[in-house]
Amino acid sequence: GMPGPMGSTGPNPNPLSVGNSIFVDAIYGKPAGEVENFIGPYININDAATAAAALALARGVPSTVYVRPGSYTANLNLARVNVNWYFEEGSKVDYVGNNMMFNATSSIPGFDIRGYGEFTTSRGNFIFSFSSPYEYNIEGKSVINSPTNLDRGAVCIRVQNPTLKCRIKFETVSLAS
C-alpha cells in the first residue's frame, strides 16, 4: 500500500525519560533528583514523595515512585494524592517519624503500594493507616512494628472505615517488642 502521511515533527523525547515516574536510589540518588529520569533518582524517599505529588498535580494523572534496592529512612507521611508506589526486591524503609509511614486520610484518595518492600518501625506508631472510603492495594515482603512499649496502642496496619476497600498482601506481618 501507499505510505501514510508524515507524523508530527519536533524534538525527540529524552530516551531516559519515563513518564509520570519518580525514582529513588540509596546509592546513586541525588539530593535534588530529576523527575521522570531513571538515571537521575532521588536519594531521599520523603523528597521523592513530594516530587511525585507535584508531578501528579501538574499532569492531572497519577504518578508512581519506584524505590530501588537499599535502606531508606522516612520521617513523614509518604501517602500523597495520586501517588502510587513500587518497591523493588531489597528495598527497606524504616519509619522514624511521630505519626504513620502511610496515613491515608479522607483527603488522600486510593492508591497502590506494590512490590517487595520491607517496612519497619520501632516508634510504636502505625505503619499503614486507612480511614478514607477509597480503594487501596497494599503488598510487600514484610511489615514489622517493634515498639519498646506495646501499651502505646501500636499497630502494623489499621483499617478503620467500613466503606473502604483494602487489599493487603504481605509474607510477614509482625508486632512484638
What pLDDT is recorded for position 105? Answer: 81
Residue 105 near residue 80, CB atoms below 8 Å: no
What pLDDT is recorded for position 6? Answer: 62
What pLDDT is recorded for position 139? Answer: 96
What pLDDT is recorded for position 132? Answer: 82
Whole-angstrom distance, CA of residue 100 vs CA of residue 165: 20
R_g of the chain, CA atoms, integer Å:
18
Contacts of 46 (CB under 8 A, 6+ apart): 74, 75, 76, 78
What pLDDT is recorded for position 13? Answer: 57
Residue 127 near residue 100, CB atoms below 8 Å: yes
Tens-digit pLDDT string for the chain (177 aa):
777 776 555 454 555 667 889 999 999 999 989 988 889 999 999 999 999 999 999 999 999 999 999 999 999 999 999 999 999 999 999 999 888 899 988 788 889 999 999 999 987 678 898 888 888 999 999 999 988 766 566 788 888 887 888 899 999 999 887
Whole-angstrom distance, CA of residue 177 vs CA of residue 150: 7
Q: Give, for 61, the enclosing helix (H) or strand (E).
A: none
Closest among 125, 165, 117 to 142, alpha carbons compared: 117
